Each structure stands twice: as structure tokens, then as C-alpha cells.
Structure 1
Amino acid sequence: MNANKTLAIGCILGALAVMTGAFASHGLKAHLSSYALSIIHTGVQYQFWHALALVGLGSAMLRFPSRRLGRASLLMIIGTIFFSGSLYGLAITGMKWLGPVTPIGGVLLILGWFTAAWSFWRPDTDSVKA
């Protein structure tokens, strides 16, 4: 994952988080239980925080090109899709089989954070030429 794609995807995920939160608050409020809305709220929060993290990682990659930061970005993107996406699906459809997907997304998010940390801790071992 390169810096520009990471930045773009972070921005897109941020916009989608705002749209999802607004849609849930205004369009779904009358149709979903308060519990289902709280599930969506959790998904939006995680999506938004990781969108901001991706913008940060993309910005860092512009200054410090790194394969590991690219991997960290990819882990966070896939983790956000799994984590938040499964919560949205669970809240809206009630499909219980989506429940086990959420922790997989959470593990991917955690791995993304640790991979980013390792990239900054040991930056010289995986640098790429810009």
C-alpha cells in the first residue's frame, strides 16, 4: 500500500463514517432498537478513528517510505472493513453469523497498530526508495 492510496482510503473511510453515522441517527432511528443503533455507533467510532490513523500513516509514509507502514495500513483497512462492516450488518440485518467476523477485524486492527509501531521503532530495516 503506498502513501497516496493510504491517504485516499483514509479520507474515504472518514467520509463514509460521517455518512453512516448520520444515516443511522436520522434515517434508521425509527426502524432500529437503541441496542442496534449503539452497535452502529460503535462501528462508526472505530471506523472514524482508523480513518484518521490511515491519514496519519499515509502522511508518515510520504516522509518515511516504509513497506511495514504500507502493511500496517492494509491491515487497518481490512480490519476496519471486517470490524465496522460486520457491526453494521449485524445491527441492520440481525444476521448472527456476522458476530464472529467482528473480532477478526479487531485482531487485524491490533496487528495494524503493532506493525505501525514496529515500523517506527525499527525504521531503517524496511525503508524503500521514494
Structure 2
Amino acid sequence: MARLFGIIAALSGLLATALGAYGAHGLPGKVSPALLASFETAVQYQFFHSLLLLLLALALRLRHCPFLVAAGGCLVLGMLGFSGSIYALVLLGDKFFGPITPMGGLMLMIGWLLLAVAAVKWEKIDE
């Protein structure tokens, strides 16, 4: 899983970079300022969580922990749900994706919570 999460993190970072550039140079004047701000938020969240996923992948290389694996899965689903639905909303103009955004955000929060659980369990293993 560490390798898979590392690959996903790198590709997600690449995509966030490309979409961030498009949002900065290709979207202004084509969408409303509110939609542009939402797009920028999606890019920021994708960057932050791509970096977290990369760190999680590195941690899994050091020690396997089922809570880290679950956290990584939640982060991947969360980035797809949160950022992906905002990208679709802005780029496709389809409101169908709107209800997916909060579910993606919830998955990101669960990922962080599972990371905290992994940290607690990891500490107990070291004692």
C-alpha cells in the first residue's frame, strides 16, 4: 500500500499543480469570482492532502499499521469527493456534483482522525 499511496500522492500533486495553473491563468473571466474561489480551495485541499498522503506512504514504509492504511484510503476518497466534485462543478457547470463535496470533506476528516488513532497506537507500540 505504501507504494500505491506514494504513486497516488505524486500524481495528485501533479494534477493539483496543473489545475492550479489552469485556475490562475485559464479560468479568470470564464467563471464567477465565487466559483473561481471554490476552485482555488479545491486545489489547496488537494495539495495539502497529497502531501499528507505522501508522508503517510513514507510512514507505512517504516511500519505497517492498519489505521494508516485506512487513513490513506479515506484521504484518496476524500480528495476525489471533495476536490473532484468542486472541479466538476466549476468546469462542467453541473450541480449534480454539489452534494458529493461534503461527503468528500467528511472522508478527509475521517482520514485525519484515523491518522490520530494510528499515532496513539504507534506510541503504545514503542513503549
With the length of structure 2 as denominator, give the TM-score of the two structures. 0.91
| Distance of 1:92 and 1:23 partners within structure 2 | 11
Query: What letter is aligned with 2:64?
Result: P
Query: What letter is aligned with 1:51?
Result: S
Question: Shift in Å at residue 125 of structure 1?
Answer: 8.7
- Residue range with higher mean Cα deviation, 61-70 or 76-85: 61-70
Comparing both chains, which one has the higher relative contact order based on Cα–Cα distances under 8 Å and sequence gaps of 6 or more?
1
| Distance of 1:66 and 1:125 partners within structure 2 | 12
Query: What letter is aligned with 2:37?
Result: S
- 4+ runs deviating over 3 angstroms: none
Percent of aligned pairs sharing the same letter:
35
For residues 73-88 of structure 1, what are the structure 2 equivalents within 5 Å? Answer: 73-88=72-87
Which residue of the partner structure matches residue 88 of structure 2?
Answer: 89
Query: What letter is aligned with 1:41?
Result: E
- Aligned partners of 1:73 and 1:112 also within 8 Å: yes
Q: Secondary structure at the match of 2:31?
A: coil
Which residue of the partner structure matches residue 70 of structure 1?
Answer: 69
| Distance of 2:30 and 2:70 partners within structure 1 | 39
| Distance of 1:125 and 1:105 partners within structure 2 | 31
- Residue range with higher mean Cα deviation, 85-94 or 9-18: 85-94
Structure 1 gaps, min length 5: none
Structure 2 gaps, min length 5: none
Q: Secondary structure at the match of 2:67?
A: helix
- Aligned partners of 1:36 and 1:92 also within 8 Å: no
Which residue of the partner structure matches residue 107 of structure 2?
Answer: 108
- Residue range with higher mean Cα deviation, 14-23 or 84-93: 84-93
Deviation readout 1:55-107 (Å, 9 max, x if unpaired) = 11011111121122111101000110000011111112222221111000011
| Distance of 1:86 and 1:101 partners within structure 2 | 6
RMSD across aligned C-alpha pairs, in angstroms? 1.7
